């Protein structure tokens, strides 16, 4: 795959199969796993031992919780999603699934931007981009972004390599974050 652009946790590129979108979240997940792992191993090192007595139920629960957090962080760092958009179909694969999901595609993709989450305070991923068929039904899972800039970069990169129709909300402004666009 030849990468064209990166937009937050997504990399958009082109290969012989067609347009390729990959998602990985190494940095965020490894940071989480590292912090949880440090707390886990420090608790084991300075605690009453690996097998606590019955009075140490809080300690056992604490270690189990941070052990699970460490494992989930490592699994999150290994997790990848890949979308291959060819002329005839969209193929979706991920790390922990054996099956490939194949979705027939329209000759011209319709991209819909949903910015309703950006208006809600505290939404982590306020901007969602999805591929729709001509009837408005989503084809594959949504691509989630925390900023308008990330969603805009994603859409611009797709427009470079695919013929797409863009469906923006009527009241949505430019796809850039900044003092004039918030």
**How confident is the model over 13-41, as pLDDT tens digits?**
999 888 899 998 788 899 999 999 999 99
Tell me the two tokens of residue 167: 């469906």
Q: Is the pLDDT of residue 53 over 80?
A: no
For the chain, give the mean pLDDT. 80
Tell me the two tokens of residue 4: 């064209």
What is the per-residue pLDDT for 31? 93
Band of the pLDDT at 61, cuts 50, 70, 90? confident
| Dist CA 100 CA 19 (whole Å) | 17
**How confident is the model over 115-144, as pLDDT tens digits?**
776 655 656 777 888 887 777 777 777 888
| pTM of the predicted structure, to 2 decimals | 0.74
Give burial (CB, 10 Å; 0-12/13-18/19+) of 65. Answer: middle
What is the per-residue pLDDT for 37? 95
| Dist CA 175 CA 181 (whole Å) | 8
What is the per-residue pLDDT for 181? 42
């Amino acid at each position: 795959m030849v990468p064209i652009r990166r937009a937050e946790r997504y990399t958009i590129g082109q290969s012989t199969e067609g347009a390729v979108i990959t998602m990985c979240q190494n940095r965020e997940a490894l940071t989480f796993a590292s912090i949880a792992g440090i707390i886990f191993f420090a608790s084991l090192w300075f605690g009453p031992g690996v097998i606590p007595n019955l009075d140490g139920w809080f300690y056992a629960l604490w270690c189990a919780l941070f052990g699970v957090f460490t494992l989930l962080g490592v699994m999150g760092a290994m997790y990848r999603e890949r979308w291959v958009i060819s002329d005839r179909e969209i193929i979706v694969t991920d790390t922990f699934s054996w099956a490939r999901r194949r979705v027939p595609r329209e000759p011209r993709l319709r991209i819909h931007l949903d910015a309703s989450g950006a208006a809600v305070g505290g939404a982590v991923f306020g901007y969602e981009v999805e591929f729709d068929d001509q009837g408005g039904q989503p084809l594959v899972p949504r691509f989630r972004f925390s900023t308008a800039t990330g969603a805009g970069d994603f859409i611009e990169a797709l427009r470079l390599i695919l013929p797409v129709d863009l469906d923006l909300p009527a009241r949505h402004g430019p796809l850039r974050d900044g003092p004039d666009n918030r």
